[in-house]
Structure 1
Amino acid sequence: MSYADELAPINIVINQSPWLDGFAGLVDLYESETGNTVTLDVNPYAGSLEKQRNAVRSEQSEYDILIVNGIFYPEMYHGGFLEPLKNVDPDFKLDPQIYTYDDTLCYDAVNKTVNCETGDLLTIPVNPNITLMFYRKDLYEQNGLKIPETWDELMANAKALHNPPEMIGMMQRSARATISITWDYWPYLISHGGSLFQDEGNGDFSVTINSPEARKALETYVAFSKEVGPENPASMEQGDLIQYLVTGRAAHAVLPAAAQSQMDDPNKSIVAGKIGYMTIPHAPGHPSAPALGHWLGGIPKNIAQDHKVAALAFLDWFQKPETQIAYAEMGGSPVSAAAYESDFADKPENRYMLTMRTASPTARRLWTIPEGSEIVAVLEVGLNRVVAGEISVVDSLNNMAAEIEKIMVDAGYKTGRLPDLAN
């Protein structure tokens, strides 16, 4: 594919986000290098999703690339709205240094699962947005603390630094939103050996959110909120976590990697240079499991062929190692090992990238079915009520399992659920 060829102008619908400036800078670079034209249609999160839903269901999409959220991509995959990239160019291949993010780039339409061995490549990742643990590395050094590997070790460190209201040991999102507490709870669930379904990859959608492992995960989550968290932990949003960190009032916080851009900004942070980054802890015997909330670039089926070719040309250029390094240099969040293993990543101001080297390959998806929007609504309420003290861990998990099972039954899946947990 030649970028020197004159290609059709393309429109990209994208969300307003902390990493938008880096992506927009890369678009400018692409235009200057190739002479091709790219227009960004920037919208709030919900507005971007709505525009995408309307575009793929219209006679012809007004957008040539959809920047799809890693929570709601199953709707696009299962609906058959995205063009397999090999259909645009049979010779196109994913650059080997691009992370596949738990196989979420590929879809097996026969088995209706994400699988890069049996499925078609539908998207190229454009932003990783996985969770990292942000922490006060200066306080670790002053108190002789070691980077924790397990949740118990993290709790010990958080207790050592917890001195409310001046210093909160641990901040995590527990408010209800489109997706908030669910995303922060997910690493606890998976890293304790829990799961939402029995074997989603092979079509067994028996609900397992009320397993003993899930119980231990939620008890651990709640313990952090109660023992080393702020007042009213059930109201904490992402913006609150960032504010606690940049104002020097939090020792730890779970945040998407993109939030690192604010930590060393002297106009926003009084702790510039003092924030470190670590991989999300785990329970003994299980790996770390950062939650994926990434963004994927896909090409809708309902556009003209010349626009598909132009869209793929941009995505192909975007995935190149040299482009990904430039993306990092512009303040974006790259999706390629090439950037995280570059000299740029070794600079002190880019120290989050060293953690991303370890965290990116272990990041875990949430679900792969279009009913996710219904499921997350159940999880947001159930998990939030536990942190707020309105319901017990056991009752919440049992109730959520029953509600999710009903969603799956109504949608026609092979399902069931575990017996209720006992108090």
Structure 2
Amino acid sequence: MLFNSILILIMRTTRRKFIKYAGAAAVSGLTAGLASYALMPSNSVADSMDSTTIGIGSFEVERYRPPDYLEFLDWLRSVSKPLSGQRIVIAMENEPFPRAMQRINSDFFNFSGILTEYELTPFLQNLSNIRLAVNTKSPTYDIFNIDGSQIATFSDDLIPPQELAELYPELTYPDFDVDGFDSIGWALSSKYPQDLIFSPYEKELNGSVVQWPQDIPIMIHFYRKDLYEKEGLEPARTWDEYYEDIKHFDNPNGGFYGAVSMAFVHPSITFEYLNHLHSFGGKIWEVADDNTLRCVMNSDEAVAALENFVRFARYSDPGSSSYSWDTVASAMANNRAANAIQFADYSSLMDNPNKSQTVGKWGYKLNPAGPAGSFTTFAGAGVGVSKYSRHPKESWLWLQWVSTTGAQVVALQDPLNNSAPNRKAVYDDPIIKQELETGKLQYLKVVKEALSTNRVGTLISHPKWPQAGAIMNSKLHETWRGYLTPREAVKTIQDEIDALGPVFTF
């Protein structure tokens, strides 16, 4: 088996640390347990585990746990005994990475004794639930994740990780590598204001860290490689080639379409449009030297980008006007389209034989290029401890656990989790290296390539973004439906956002 060959490789490359655990069995029952735990199924749990605890998957996957991760778990057990039996509630979006961490939560429970309840809901519902909790200063949630675009709204409702480390030094892992987070998640998901380190802005705003990155979801081009190979075609490199491809594959009489898009009145339509906007040289905001923002949507570049986006509607799944990222993924899995610009995480759904009719049929490429090149959209969230939590100590331990390199290596061995890790060292793990080349993580090669271009768009968070974003979502949707021309849409967006400002501050 591939897993066994990788395990041999890991044991060779980390022999000293492995022997530390396996060889010490004669003198330490705990360490012997750790050595055996290194290869336990992900949802094996202690006999004493509370049956109401949420977080265990319904299947078993034999996974390797890296030695550094076992060291962290050993430390976790050594410091958490006084907190054993306490319960924390975690509110996160119902997406691949949170589900993967829920499925390996037995690791956290087995070594801390802390009970966890996960509340995983769709993006807008999660946002609404968290907003209600913080507006009432309720301790409902101990931990929650906040999308980077919404961080301005909630930055004052989180206990910054550095503050937690200072408050609880005895519960702070001494070898935790804060510098090991990927730069994009650190800049765009953890800080407020965000550091706009990528094109088209390339400007650091020197924000404060209020949470830690969760994962690195970016949009890439999904294409049906089986159909492209059958037709002898290469996936599109430009938007014009993409247009020709979707015309070629469009077969509405057969219930199959050239593409499927996120065109509902939902944040997903703005995220998808950003891939077009930046590739045509446009942007939503101009960031002044004094770090204030002005909307610059009423531009020829924004018009051209929107014309490009909506011309695909004719050859796209007609349900697109009611689809967000989840429903686009379902349409793809149900064999309704040949192409999509979708978040890489959703490759996990494509490869799930229980939910997909298209297992093994999707390929992944960089997004098609416009005049300014190929851009990808980042839509990552961070995760942090609520200021209103009654269990900040327990929550701080969980936040450290979920943010370790080892936990993410374990999670990526989950066949239902195709997220992109927020820790740079994950890519150096022997299992992950092997899977990148020959296994299920092929999509990650495209993610790495896209990030290496430094052409990454995102939504800039500020106090008025929820209102500005609602304007964007509505007018883009109306344009997709044909109710507005692209020129009318960008002017209306500009006018209505200006009415909120026109100058915006952080």
Q: Provide the residue aligned with 1:252 in structure 2.
A: 339
Residue type matched to 1:94 in 2? Answer: V
Does 155-164 or 126-135 show the bigger shift? 155-164
| 1:284 and 2:371 aligned | yes
| 1:300 and 2:300 aligned | no
Match of 1:273, SS state, is coil
| 1:139 and 2:213 aligned | no
Q: Provide the residue aligned with 1:315 in structure 2.
A: 399
Superposed, 1:102-117 pairs within 5 Å as 103-107=187-191, 112-114=193-195
Q: Provide the residue aligned with 1:66 in structure 2.
A: 144
Superposed, 1:27-38 pairs within 5 Å as 27-38=105-116
Superposed, 1:231-270 pairs within 5 Å as 231=318, 233-270=320-357
* Kept in 2: contact 1:169–1:250 (CA 8 A): yes
Q: Provide the residue aligned with 1:51 in structure 2.
A: 129
CA spacing shift, 1:122–1:173, aligned 2, 3 Å: same
Whichever of the two has the greater Rg, that structure is: 2
CA spacing shift, 1:63–1:229, aligned 2, 3 Å: closer
C-alpha distance in structure 1 between counterparts of 2:318 and 2:140, whole Å: 47
The size of the alignment, in residue pairs, is 403
CA spacing shift, 1:236–1:62, aligned 2, 3 Å: closer
User: Is there any run of 5+ residues in structure 2 with no aligned partner, and where?
Assistant: 1-71, 167-173, 197-203
* Kept in 2: contact 1:174–1:235 (CA 8 A): yes
Identity of aligned residues (%): 23
User: Is there any run of 5+ residues in structure 1 with no aligned partner, and where?
Assistant: 416-423
Match of 1:355, SS state, is helix
Q: 2:496 aligns with which of 388, 400, 403?
A: 403
State the 1:103 CA deviation.
1.2
Q: Provide the residue aligned with 1:347 in structure 2.
A: 438
State the 1:99 CA deviation.
4.5
Match of 1:71, SS state, is helix
C-alpha distance in structure 2 between counterparts of 1:261 and 1:242, whole Å: 10
Q: Provide the residue aligned with 2:423 in structure 1.
A: 336
* Kept in 1: contact 2:185–2:214 (CA 8 A): no
C-alpha distance in structure 1 between counterparts of 2:481 and 2:384, whole Å: 39
Q: Provide the residue aligned with 2:52 in structure 1.
A: none
Q: Provide the residue aligned with 1:129 in structure 2.
A: 217
Q: 1:389 aligns with which of 473, 482, 497?
A: 482
CA spacing shift, 1:244–1:85, aligned 2, 3 Å: closer
Structure 1 runs of 4+ off > 6 angstroms? none
C-alpha distance in structure 2 between counterparts of 1:345 and 1:222, whole Å: 34
Q: Provide the residue aligned with 1:419 in structure 2.
A: none
* Kept in 2: contact 1:197–1:208 (CA 8 A): yes
C-alpha distance in structure 1 between counterparts of 2:319 and 2:402, whole Å: 43
C-alpha distance in structure 1 between counterparts of 2:289 and 2:385, whole Å: 24
Q: Provide the residue aligned with 1:421 in structure 2.
A: none
Q: Provide the residue aligned with 1:372 in structure 2.
A: 465
CA spacing shift, 1:298–1:284, aligned 2, 3 Å: same
Q: Provide the residue aligned with 1:5 in structure 2.
A: 79
CA spacing shift, 1:136–1:60, aligned 2, 3 Å: closer
C-alpha distance in structure 1 between counterparts of 2:464 and 2:491, whole Å: 19
| 1:169 and 2:258 aligned | yes
**Quick one: higher RCO (CA 8 Å, sep 6+), 1 or 2?**
1
C-alpha distance in structure 2 between counterparts of 1:93 and 1:316, whole Å: 10
C-alpha distance in structure 2 between counterparts of 1:130 and 1:192, whole Å: 19
| 1:196 and 2:284 aligned | yes
Deviations 1:221-273 (A, max 9, x none): 012223x3234653444455334422333110122223212212333323211
State the 1:321 CA deviation.
2.0
* Kept in 1: contact 2:281–2:371 (CA 8 A): no
Match of 2:501, SS state, is helix
Match of 2:293, SS state, is strand
Q: Provide the residue aligned with 2:308 in structure 1.
A: 220
Deviations 1:274-312 (A, max 9, x none): 1112222221333x33223322101223446xx434323
Residue type matched to 2:500 in 1? Answer: I
CA spacing shift, 1:297–1:386, aligned 2, 3 Å: same
CA spacing shift, 1:46–1:241, aligned 2, 3 Å: closer
Q: Provide the residue aligned with 1:23 in structure 2.
A: 101
CA spacing shift, 1:413–1:237, aligned 2, 3 Å: closer
Under a length normalisation based on structure 2, what TM-score does the superposition of the two structures give?
A: 0.72
Deviations 1:205-232 (A, max 9, x none): 2211111111111011012223x32346
